[in-house]
Structure 1
Amino acid sequence: MPINFFKHLADQNSAHILRIIPPEHLKEVVEGFYVFKAGNPAERELFFNDGYPVIALMQNENVSVSIDGHTKCVGNTWVCGGVLRNIYCESELHFEDCLVIRFHAVTFFKLFGINEDCFQKEQVFDFSEIAGYGFETFKETYYHCSSLEERMKVVVNFLSEKMSNYSYPRVLIDIQNHINRQGNLTVRDLLDSYKKVRLNYKWLERNFKKHLGISPQSYLLIRRFLNAYIDLDALTSKDLLQIAIDNGYYDDNHFIKDFRRFSGVPPKTYFNRTIKALKTVKDDCSL
């Protein structure tokens, strides 16, 4: 998703995102349905994922992404997950009314019958690659709907038909929620927090990779970076060093290295580019 989606997601009072609670029988699979009401004014928007795989249903706009300089079209229904590095939306798009389905990773892979390492090979791809039986009918019906209520019924029915019985360690969802609430954590912190259930490193490593598709270290890394990015984007009085330390980095150089890893450029270059793009859009609107 565009990284600003998560900025609005973190703001519970944001007018840019409408959250729709999934029906009871889908809560084990779907964390939430979101209607993304914020536009995408930048020519190139950094893509990111916070550890929850998503399926995005655009309003008939095909999305092209740049992955390490190579352009790829992922259509108007696409999947995003895993650890995204230096991936950008290639052209200016409007994300208004884009429906985002945010999944629990521990059940996402089972729901679509795919391997847990699929996001190690591709982080953004066309939904048709994993949707399975009934996708063409689902897509045609979805895009013929004239209201959000109708589209939601189509999505819920499609996901409900894919529900099946499978098992997974329920504590994994609790661990994910604990990480999201606490923010700055290490693997050692997790092990200490779950002493009562005798959580050990080998179990954590094995089950994160098996059910979430990434290691616990990678999950903590993307959460830490996202929190620091949102803090930096908020334009507070904090300097870069303070933001880095507040979000679990040793120093600002450590944060800058991570920023380069995820965006391809240092923070100053990234935000200068973003400010310039926003100014261009405002100037165009005033003409």
Structure 2
Amino acid sequence: MPINFFKHLAVHNDDHILRIAPLEHLKEIVEGFYVFKAGYRVERELFFNDGYPVIALMQNRNENVSVSIDGHMKSVGNAWVCGGVLRNTYCESGLDFQDCFVIRFYAVTFFKLFGINEDYFHQKQVFDFSEIAGYGFEQFEEAYYHGSSLEERMKITVRFLSEKVNTYSYPKVLLDIQKYIDRRGNLTVRDVMDGYAVRLNYKWLERNFKKHLGISPQNYLLIRRFLNAYIDLDSLTSKELLEIAIDNGYYDDNHFIKDFRRFSGVPPKTYFSRSKGAKTDKENYAK
């Protein structure tokens, strides 16, 4: 997803995002349905994922998204999936994401729902939804884009997902651990093991994160740390870069800059100076 989606998601009651709660029978599968109402065009938008796989559908059928992954261009169509750890990935389409419809899934159930392996996102992180949607996708897409209202499109989406729900087992405590990490923010694996209400075994945590979420606990904590620091930096507070880094669990500002390069391909100063409407205050944060 465009990283600004998560910036608005982090602010409760943000006017740029409308959240629709899932129906009871989908609550263990879908974290929420969202309409991204940011409505501003960015020529080159950084893509990111916060550990919750998403399926995004553009407002109009003819809005096809192209992404650059480490400099290699790829078209992912008007309905696409985003998950795993994204590095140096940008939307190059120059599209307005006004009213983009986003389905945010729990990873522990996402893989089972679409019948894919838990390491699927190791191979590709952004791709056309048709690659995994399975039976009924063409009818779903046709009906969705003929829907004339959000309510109608919601019903079509819920019906499509409901037809895929099967009975399967997974350690339900993983959902609670994931929510615990999201609430607490700056944590290490040791903090999770020591602070969570139930005693955890490291090998169990490592094995089940990889098996059911498709990502190691270390990588999950890493992407959450970067996202929190990015939002902090983007908020144009009076904090210095070093203070932002320390507040979000980095050793120092160089540690944060190194991570910023890992995810965006460039240091913060270059990234924000390229962003449309970037403020000069942000440039002073970076080296």
Where in structure 1 are there 5+ consecutive unaligned residues? 280-287
Distance of 2:190 and 2:45 partners within structure 1: 34
Match in the other structure for 2:183: 181
Per-residue CA deviations over 1:220-268 (Å, capped at 9, x if unaligned) read 0000000000000000000000000000001000000000000000001
Match in the other structure for 1:247: 248
Match in the other structure for 1:112: 114
Distance of 1:198 and 1:44 partners within structure 2: 44
Distance of 1:263 and 1:40 partners within structure 2: 20
Match in the other structure for 1:282: none
Q: Which amino acid aligns with 2:226?
A: F
Per-residue CA deviations over 1:167-195 (Å, capped at 9, x if unaligned) read 1111111111111110000000011023x
Distance of 1:13 and 1:28 partners within structure 2: 23
Match in the other structure for 1:65: 67
Other structure's SS at 1:99 match = strand
- The answer (yes or no) to whether the contact 1:42–1:277 under 8 Å persists in 2 is no
Distance of 1:257 and 1:95 partners within structure 2: 29
With over 3 angstroms needed to count, the CA separation of the structure-2 counterparts of 1:237 and 1:188, relative to structure 1, is same
Distance of 1:42 and 1:147 partners within structure 2: 26
Other structure's SS at 2:67 match = strand
Distance of 2:26 and 2:42 partners within structure 1: 34
Shift of 1:156: 0.2
- The answer (yes or no) to whether the contact 1:43–1:277 under 8 Å persists in 2 is no
Distance of 1:166 and 1:132 partners within structure 2: 18
Structure 1 runs of 4+ aligned residues shifted over 6 Å read none
Q: Which amino acid aligns with 2:18?
A: L
Equivalent residue in structure 1 for 2:123, among 121, 124, 127: 121
Structure with bigger helix share is 1
Match in the other structure for 1:56: 56
Match in the other structure for 1:285: none
Match in the other structure for 1:228: 229
Shift of 1:42: 1.6
Equivalent residue in structure 2 for 1:139, among 127, 141, 146: 141
Per-residue CA deviations over 1:120-160 (Å, capped at 9, x if unaligned) read 00000000000000000000000001000000000000000
TM-score under structure 1 length normalisation:
0.95
- The answer (yes or no) to whether the contact 1:41–1:278 under 8 Å persists in 2 is no
Distance of 1:5 and 1:249 partners within structure 2: 23
Other structure's SS at 1:101 match = strand
| Fraction of identical pairs, as percent | 81
Other structure's SS at 1:100 match = strand
Q: Which amino acid aligns with 1:150?
A: E
Distance of 2:279 and 2:256 partners within structure 1: 25
Match in the other structure for 1:284: none
Shift of 1:94: 1.1
Q: Which amino acid aligns with 1:208?
A: F
Distance of 1:198 and 1:218 partners within structure 2: 21
Shift of 1:197: 3.2
More displaced stretch, 268-277 vs 117-126 = 268-277
Match in the other structure for 1:215: 216
Distance of 1:17 and 1:66 partners within structure 2: 25
Distance of 2:105 and 2:40 partners within structure 1: 23
Per-residue CA deviations over 1:181-223 (Å, capped at 9, x if unaligned) read 10000000011023x6331110000000000000000000000
Match in the other structure for 1:204: 205
Other structure's SS at 1:143 match = helix
- The answer (yes or no) to whether the contact 2:52–2:104 under 8 Å persists in 1 is yes
TM-score under structure 2 length normalisation:
0.95
- The answer (yes or no) to whether the contact 1:240–1:252 under 8 Å persists in 2 is yes
Distance of 1:277 and 1:40 partners within structure 2: 13
RMSD: 1.3
- The answer (yes or no) to whether the contact 1:40–1:92 under 8 Å persists in 2 is no
